[in-house]
Structure 1
Amino acid sequence: MGRMKGAAEMPGAAGSVPLPEVLTDFRQESYWDQFFKASQGRPFEWYGDWVSLPKVFRELLGLRPERNPPLEILVPGCGNSRLSAAMYDAGFQKIVNVDFNKRVITEMLRLNVRARPLMRWQVMDITKMQFADNSFDVVLDKGSLDALTGEPDEPQVAAEGLLSEVKRVLKHGGKYICITLAQQHVIELLLGNFRIGWDVVVYQVQDESNDTSSALQPLLVVATNTGSVKVSPVKPCLEEVNPRAANADQMNCVVSVIEAENKLRATFEAGSVEDQEVEEDYSEYDELNPGKVRTVKLGGHYLAVVLDAKPESGPHAYKAAVFLVPRGRAHEWLFSTEEGQWEIVEAAKASRLIMVMLDTQQYPGSLAAVQDELSHVVKNFLPLHCKESKDIPYMTTDDGVHRRTVLEEIKSPITGTIKVEDVVLEGKKTSEDAASAPTQSFYRRLVFDRNPNLIQSDAVLVPYSAVAEDPQSRKQTTQQKKKKKKSKAKEPVLDIKNEVEEELRVDHSQLGNSYHAGMIAGVALITQGLEQSLSVKDPVRVMVVGLGAGLLPMFLHNHLPVDHIEVVELDGVIGDLAKRHFGFVENNRMKLHVGDGIDAVHAIGRVAKIPVKVPTVSELSENLATSHINEGSNSVKDQRLHVLIIDADAGDSSLEMSCPPKEFLDESFLAAAKVALVDEGMLVINVVSRAARAVSSAASKLQKVFEEVYELKIDEDVNRVLFALPRKCPVPNDSLISDLRSAALRLRKLCTDFSPWQHGPALEDFLQEDKLRLIPRT
């Protein structure tokens, strides 16, 4: 955040109080209790005092104390600054000061109640203020926006809440005067929120008391509410940047942000001028036309689709709603196809849904700012009976990420850009624990830029001390710890319980992806075959095509009595990342092969010497040929698999089915897969698609080759897991669920005899009639 003026130490009887190490502390009342207690009533001026502001108020902004009626002024986040008192003494007497800290409001009221009786002091959350709309002529913010904004990579919920409230409580012609250090993410957020209907000017604060040696110095941003639908360029009233000045980098950044913002505003204004040349007739949108779809442009630049719910849908909770498609996702099947769009209409429960595509290049600001801009133009496309309604809901998708830290970003020639990131997910509070802090969960994710909204792998993170090492990997875990201790770059993350920094590790006893847990539950279909193999000491073999972060193979390795696990991954870079960040290991039971999964499956069929139609593919890659998956083995039985798992990504989110690649559903591959399995084996395929027909098509292709195909639905997910058996399951269909639950108990016993189950999935949660079914043949 940079050093704020005078912020290295704060005066107090007990000595100095340092700034918090974590910027989020600025949003905590406990920090301010400590701060105000240490200050013992003495004021602290973060960004200068009133001395620097009279000229700005009078000459530049035309704000004078003698105005009749007098100016109504709000100071959010007032703290114990003397700014309000100085303004009162200068003649601005209708001032309301608010702060969420009761201690400071009580103290400031005591100090001012006699000398300044007209000034008000209130305890209030400045992101949810209790004032009526259009209440103030001026909102004077000295550092509050900076305090609420925090780090650049944090969700800006609190800061956007403040700005939304500022716009609500200001009168027409009112001014938001923000004194800020204008760091890039702050100034971008600020300018992006005051775009349509606001005139914005950026001033330098001329104050001889300012510390000119600081790399960050206060600026004054003034946004005036014009009430129009026009977009005006930001006006910079700044001195020429002195390259030798301490704040040269700050000023160059501010100038760059303003230039980028004005380029964007120029495209907005061009669009609105173009629209004004032709008087549009919106009468066709006055009535609902069930099942009708229309594509429109909002404000000249936002592409939108207007969908009136189909006659058979309903009931509807809303007469109309707006859905904001997140930036960069408009090409996805869910948002780009009519079938996907109808799914969103159903989920939104709206009679009319206006789906707005947010273009990455056109809009770099916040969703709150988008909503503010759209409100002027969306009403043209609302049904007549709700055109003037202020209660039109705005919806979008939400991944629940509270904080995101990218650990590594690397470009692969096969996959493209790959990211490993740690995320903190904030859980929703129930009514019973509304007063408590939100729960937080920690995950490490593998994400591909080619499909950034599909999480390839989701690993649960816990402190080292919280993980009970299982006997199958204790030796390797110990070696990994030793290596980590030698590493220069540790990954300190906030501990969930103790709120102290402790190094976290991936917990391989948990499966972060629900569909992985569903795959494990589906093994109950072949429990009898596994029991037979284990009883005669036949090796149990599993192949996983598609490594991801290696979480599923590691769970199989640690918790299932599997003798050999072969993992096939096309991209060697992914293998390196899985080892480096997710704790994936190779040993005598588990091997990673960099190569084509289709080739690997055909290789097993060739070893088995069973005729199968082999497609024209490249020869088995060298590392596969030299491994123990090769055609020179004399042990046919050992090469065939009990379980073959296909968990591969198609690499194109615009496809109707993004997993698996279509080649894994070709009849030639499925025939090879059947040959590669023992008679009691099973093919498992992760299918990712919102289109029911895509899942149905995949199942039909499997049914052409396999005796039985089962479908498992995953709650709150677009994944479906298909299980294909070479021969019929010994469990009769009329008692399928009850018998599978019994089989799951036996499977669990096999696993716990092998290794502690720890945080393994509750298999019975997936073996339910509304989730797992045998797909009938048509």
Structure 2
Amino acid sequence: MSLLPRTAEEFSSAEYWERFFKKRGEKAFEWYGDYNKLCGVLHKYIKVQDKVLVVGCGNSELSEQMYDVGYKYLTNIDISETVVTHMNQRNAERRPGLTFQQVDATQTPYEEASYQAALDKGTLDAMASEEEGSLARAMLTEVGRVLSVGGRYVCVTLAQESVVKLAVEHFVQLGWAVRLHCLQEESGKEEESFALPVFVLVCTKFRQPMPAPILEMCLGEDGAPVRLARVADLLSAVREHQAYGVLKKRLRTSTDAGSNLSLTLCHTKTGLPRYTLTVQDCPPGAKVPRSNQFAIFIVPQGSETTWQYSSAEGRRELAASANFRRLVIAAMHRNQEYSDMQAVQSELSPMVMDLAPPGMPANQQVPFLSVGGDLGWREEVSSGVSELSGEYCVENVKGEDGELYRRLVFLSNTSLVQSESRLVASSTASSHKKRNKKKVKPTTSSASLSVDSGFLCCAHHEVMVAGLAALGVGTPENKDVPVSVLLVGLGGGGLPQFLRDFVPDVTVEVVELDPAILQVAKEWFGFRPDERLTVTLGDGLERICALEKGGDRLFDVVMFDADNKDNSAGMSCPPAAFVETLILQKVRRLLTPRGVFILNLVCRDSALKKSVRERVAAEFPTILSRKVEGEVNEVLLCSLSSDATRILPSLNRAAKSLQGALLRSSGTGTNHLPHIDVAELLKDLKVE
């Protein structure tokens, strides 16, 4: 190891290689692999009868082994006099036709078109670092000169981005075809190998330059070529394979319960994502049976966003319950077809041992785990593009409870369900009284399904509804007292529709920024605006400012349930501007004296969350909070009352009244019952 270059600049130094080979002596230096690893791809592109120029041969045994299997027309050149002398002496008797010459690869004495192939193992990598690649370009120009039409430059390389970019762009400009093979290490061999995969670059010379670049990537020596449109796409594919190589090396040599490593496997023909694999190791010191080394868990289709599979905490909990040293959690992608569990296992099996924990024998069986033994079910019913939110899809899925659900998912963040509703068969909607009482089989006929408006799929929506107990809804003293709600954020419309259908004497104004979301809510989530449920299209901040400035409308409840379109922000709900002091002051002035501000807060940044809470507390004397189990969401119930000691007892008394009011209202205008336990939702409230 001490003989390897310390800096990239040394790679192209003749003095360095003189010192290197003098120290190395008789021992061959098989940089990037030997003949056994490379023979498959070499025989694919270099014919036995070809005249081959081996550029920068060093003291590698590659030329000797090729000579022994029939390649008799090999001309080996190297800049080092020491290595040339040594290699000629070593082969004089045994391989008299194998010649080694001290030649500068940038200035060779050979005639034009005198070789059918040029073989380079690591020389391009060595030269590309010098003088901003000028030496490498000179070498490639010389290679192009000595190759005949149809000839190939075959380069074994680690494909450092600057190196492969230089070579590919050089030959693309000449109108050559470019193909890159990524050679994979055999499973279990990573401990003795480079972390980075070895690539073989094959550039083919044409009589007439190609009018459009031919760029292809192959996995392994026999992988089907995938055509790429741009050099940038080829470089991106190289980076992905390199990242995978580093990941494999890391996984095969160490474990880390907190690393939460993941990778995406794409379809070899289409290039589309097919599986996402997340690696979860058990913590140090965990008592794991010796037989439980490694397992693959298949996430049912439609369950990918479930807390247990989509969050780091949930995956740790899943791994702990499975009790394996390493658990790989495999999620299937939408818009991909999967026939059955056996087919999925067969597809993943070749990749399994790449991810095995350190020291695990290569021949050990790896079990596949799942829930219920099937793949789950998913059906896309609609898709579109919002100018504000990007691509989206509406899909029906079967939950792990056997029920059917409809979801709205923005493809910019497929791990997050934007809206969800439970579905029931239209013919049985009126008799569907109890949660999980009757299972509905998946059907491809969306017309036969309807949204159960009495069921709130989002747990934070249930808490927000339960917060209406602070108004005393349903108590004798508030009988026939109207309730006015301003809700920012429509989604699928489940929350405002529940309020309209089940809260007595309520009027709801929803403010939604995105017209496409309103259309989706109407078409696929059964959203039905009327005189008690209206929608204002526009910016929520502007609407709040306009209402506050007008001064003629007050609300008993203001709810924020708007998501943040900026995925890089530490707070995904609401957008940061909604919790600035100026807006919070306007919200306070929009509330009636008994009014409540209800905020759905989703913030992973602890410092940012603390700042938001401090700003809210500065405007509202009393804040009750409730974390949603298994979610990042936290619901804040913010009251204008300064008597915090009376809030919780009064809420507990009002919970029963609100529950009764919701049930009584279900008899008018809807065939569904509200599935919500107000008292249970309020019992874990904390006073801030």
Give the TM-score, by structure 2 length.
0.51
Distance in 1 of aligned mates of 2:263 and 2:393: 35
Correspondence 1:560-639 to 2 at 5 A: 560-608=503-551, 636=552, 639=553
Answer whether contact 1:401 1:426 (CA < 8 A) is retained: no
User: Partner of 2:177 in structure 1?
Assistant: none
Structure 1 residue 413 corresponds to structure 2 residue 387: yes
* Residue deviations 1:273-311 (CA, integer Å, cap 9, x gap): x99xx9999699656677679999999x99999776666
Correspondence 1:56-75 to 2 at 5 A: none
Answer whether contact 1:518 1:766 (CA < 8 A) is retained: no
User: Partner of 2:440 in structure 1?
Assistant: 496
Q: Which of 460, 467, 475 is 1:522 aligned to?
A: 467
Correspondence 1:31-180 to 2 at 5 A: none
Correspondence 1:75-474 to 2 at 5 A: 262-263=224-225, 341=312, 344-345=315-316, 347-349=318-320, 368-369=345-346, 371-379=348-356, 382-384=357-359, 386-387=360-361, 390=364, 402-425=376-399, 427=401, 440-468=402-430
3-state secondary structure, aligned to 2:572: coil
Matched to 1:578, the amino acid is: A
Pick closer, same or farther for the CA change 1:732–1:285 going to 2, 3 Å.
farther
User: Partner of 2:111 in structure 1?
Assistant: none
Distance in 1 of aligned mates of 2:423 and 2:635: 25
Answer whether contact 1:699 1:722 (CA < 8 A) is retained: no
Structure 1 residue 557 corresponds to structure 2 residue 500: yes
Q: Which of 548, 557, 574 is 1:643 aligned to?
A: 557
Distance in 2 of aligned mates of 1:424 and 1:726: 43
Q: How far did residue 594 of structure 1 move?
A: 0.4
3-state secondary structure, aligned to 2:225: helix
Distance in 2 of aligned mates of 1:669 and 1:346: 39
Distance in 1 of aligned mates of 2:484 and 2:586: 16
Q: How far did residue 658 of structure 1 move?
A: 2.3
Matched to 1:496, the amino acid is: V
Q: How far did residue 552 of structure 1 move?
A: 1.2
User: Partner of 1:665 in structure 2?
Assistant: 579
Please say which of residues 585-594 and 599-608 is displaced more in the overlay. 599-608
Matched to 2:654, the amino acid is: A
Distance in 2 of aligned mates of 1:262 and 1:582: 43
Q: How far did residue 399 of structure 1 move?
A: 14
Q: Which of 656, 660, 668 is 1:745 aligned to?
A: 656
Q: How far did residue 556 of structure 1 move?
A: 0.8
Answer whether contact 1:196 1:373 (CA < 8 A) is retained: no
Answer whether contact 1:298 1:378 (CA < 8 A) is retained: no
3-state secondary structure, aligned to 2:548: helix
Matched to 1:547, the amino acid is: L
Distance in 1 of aligned mates of 2:431 and 2:531: 19
Q: How far did residue 421 of structure 1 move?
A: 2.5
Structure 1 residue 508 corresponds to structure 2 residue 453: yes
Pick closer, same or farther for the CA change 1:727–1:405 going to 2, 3 Å.
same
Structure 1 residue 706 corresponds to structure 2 residue 620: yes
Q: How far did residue 424 of structure 1 move?
A: 3.4
Distance in 1 of aligned mates of 2:512 and 2:250: 56
Answer whether contact 2:574 2:602 (CA < 8 A) is retained: yes
Q: How far did residue 539 of structure 1 move?
A: 3.9
Q: Point out where structure 2 has 5 or more consecutive residues left out of the alignment.
A: 1-183, 187-196, 200-221, 229-233, 433-437
* Residue deviations 1:703-751 (CA, integer Å, cap 9, x gap): 2322222222334444332222222466647xx3x75343111112334
Q: How far did residue 573 of structure 1 move?
A: 1.7
Answer whether contact 1:602 1:676 (CA < 8 A) is retained: no
Pick closer, same or farther for the CA change 1:670–1:271 going to 2, 3 Å.
closer
Q: Point out where structure 1 has 5 or more consecutive residues left out of the alignment.
A: 1-194, 198-228, 232-259, 428-439, 471-493, 609-635
3-state secondary structure, aligned to 1:724: strand
Matched to 2:349, the amino acid is: D
Q: Which of 677, 682, 702 is 2:596 aligned to?
A: 682
Distance in 2 of aligned mates of 1:383 and 1:543: 56
Distance in 2 of aligned mates of 1:279 and 1:549: 42
What percent of counterpart residues are identical?
Answer: 25
Q: How far did residue 602 of structure 1 move?
A: 2.0
Matched to 1:375, the amino acid is: V
Distance in 2 of aligned mates of 1:407 and 1:519: 29
Distance in 2 of aligned mates of 1:303 and 1:465: 38
3-state secondary structure, aligned to 1:466: helix
Answer whether contact 2:251 2:358 (CA < 8 A) is retained: no
3-state secondary structure, aligned to 1:548: coil
Answer whether contact 2:466 2:682 (CA < 8 A) is retained: no
Distance in 2 of aligned mates of 1:417 and 1:398: 32
Answer whether contact 1:534 1:540 (CA < 8 A) is retained: no
Matched to 2:635, the amino acid is: V
3-state secondary structure, aligned to 1:704: helix
Distance in 1 of aligned mates of 2:250 and 2:418: 46
Pick closer, same or farther for the CA change 1:459–1:330 going to 2, 3 Å.
closer
Answer whether contact 2:513 2:540 (CA < 8 A) is retained: yes
Q: How far did residue 578 of structure 1 move?
A: 1.6
Distance in 2 of aligned mates of 1:399 and 1:705: 52
Q: How far did residue 540 of structure 1 move?
A: 2.0
3-state secondary structure, aligned to 1:587: coil
Q: How far did residue 545 of structure 1 move?
A: 0.8
Q: Which structure has the bigger radius of gyration?
A: 2
Q: How far did residue 593 of structure 1 move?
A: 0.6
Pick closer, same or farther for the CA change 1:768–1:390 going to 2, 3 Å.
farther
3-state secondary structure, aligned to 1:348: helix
Answer whether contact 2:625 2:634 (CA < 8 A) is retained: yes
Please say which of residues 302-311 and 508-517 is displaced more in the overlay. 302-311
Give the TM-score, by structure 1 length.
0.46
Answer whether contact 1:740 1:767 (CA < 8 A) is retained: no
Distance in 1 of aligned mates of 2:491 and 2:423: 16
Pick closer, same or farther for the CA change 1:298–1:465 going to 2, 3 Å.
closer
Distance in 1 of aligned mates of 2:443 and 2:257: 53
Structure 1 residue 545 corresponds to structure 2 residue 522: no
Answer whether contact 2:379 2:444 (CA < 8 A) is retained: no
Answer whether contact 1:547 1:568 (CA < 8 A) is retained: yes
Distance in 1 of aligned mates of 2:665 and 2:248: 72
3-state secondary structure, aligned to 1:390: coil
Matched to 1:348, the amino acid is: A
Distance in 2 of aligned mates of 1:739 and 1:358: 46
Answer whether contact 2:666 2:674 (CA < 8 A) is retained: no
Distance in 1 of aligned mates of 2:625 and 2:520: 32
Distance in 2 of aligned mates of 1:346 and 1:645: 33
Distance in 1 of aligned mates of 2:511 and 2:621: 26
Q: How far did residue 527 of structure 1 move?
A: 1.9
Answer whether contact 1:571 1:595 (CA < 8 A) is retained: yes
Answer whether contact 2:293 2:325 (CA < 8 A) is retained: yes
Please say which of residues 743-752 and 344-353 is displaced more in the overlay. 344-353
Distance in 1 of aligned mates of 2:364 and 2:659: 55
